[in-house]
Amino acid sequence: MDTAWQLLEQVYLFSMTAINARRGLPFLLLGVGLILLVSAAYYLLRDVSPPSDLSAVPAPVDYAAPELTLTDLQGTTHSLAEFRGQVVLVNLWATWCPPCKEEMPTLQAYYNKHAEAGFVIIAINDGDPTPDVKQFVQEYRLTFPIWLDPTYIATDQAFKTINLPSSFVIDRQGTIRLLWVGGIHRKMLDQYVTPIILETP
């Protein structure tokens, strides 16, 4: 009698184990598949470095620069017309804007190199409080002109854009030649702005 019960118990346990194994098989296969996918992704991507230049490419344009008058950090009034005869990169930016922060050292370095060739950057701040702008300028050691635009005249009226940063390159005759939306990297400045600086007046 005991042997019969033992035999029945063994058959029952075997069948239950087999059923549990069949139920768990899909989950097991799913887990193995996920491991294989992660491993494949790791081996494929481990040697791939991120792109070194994620800069936006400028759009070539051809229209007259707008009339625009604003004040600088010292309260002095300036207009774009004062800079006729120079190549001007107007940069619209804000202190809270990550790509604006990222591109500022590049803009400063490019300005340092080309300022003596009649190139100027005019960075127009889009609505930040003056103390915040002054702190930003000091932190990033900016030496090109900084204009304040507390009422958004540059973005809403003059250049008609809602994107920050946005940049516009004005040639020596007062014509906007390039329009950038997004951060600028040095390679793009060298490729697109330097030829305009080198043009014979």
pLDDT tens-digit series, residues 136-188: 999 999 999 999 999 999 999 999 999 999 999 999 999 999 999 999 999 99
Size of the chain, expressed as the number of residues it contains: 201
Nearest-angstrom CA–CA distance, 73 and 75:
5
**DSSP class of 176:** E
97 class by beta-carbon count within 10 Å (0-12 exposed, 13-18 middle, 19+ buried): middle
Q: Under a CB-based contact definition with an 8 Å cutoff, are residues 58 and 169 in contact?
A: yes
Token pair belonging to 50: 């991120």
The one-letter amino acid at 178:
L
Q: Which pTM does this prediction carry? A: 0.73
Which residues does 159 contact at the CB level (< 8 Å), separation at least 6?
66, 90, 92, 166, 168
Token pair belonging to 194: 């330097």
Residue 174 has a pLDDT of 97
Low-confidence ranges of the chain (pLDDT < 70): 1-55
**DSSP class of 190:** I
Strand pairing category for 87-93 and 166-170: antiparallel
Q: How far is CA 73 from the centre of its chain?
A: 26
Residue 83 has a pLDDT of 97
Strand pairing category for 77-79 and 146-149: unpaired
- Following DSSP, what letter does each residue of 150-167 receive, concatenated? TT-HIIIIIS----SSEE
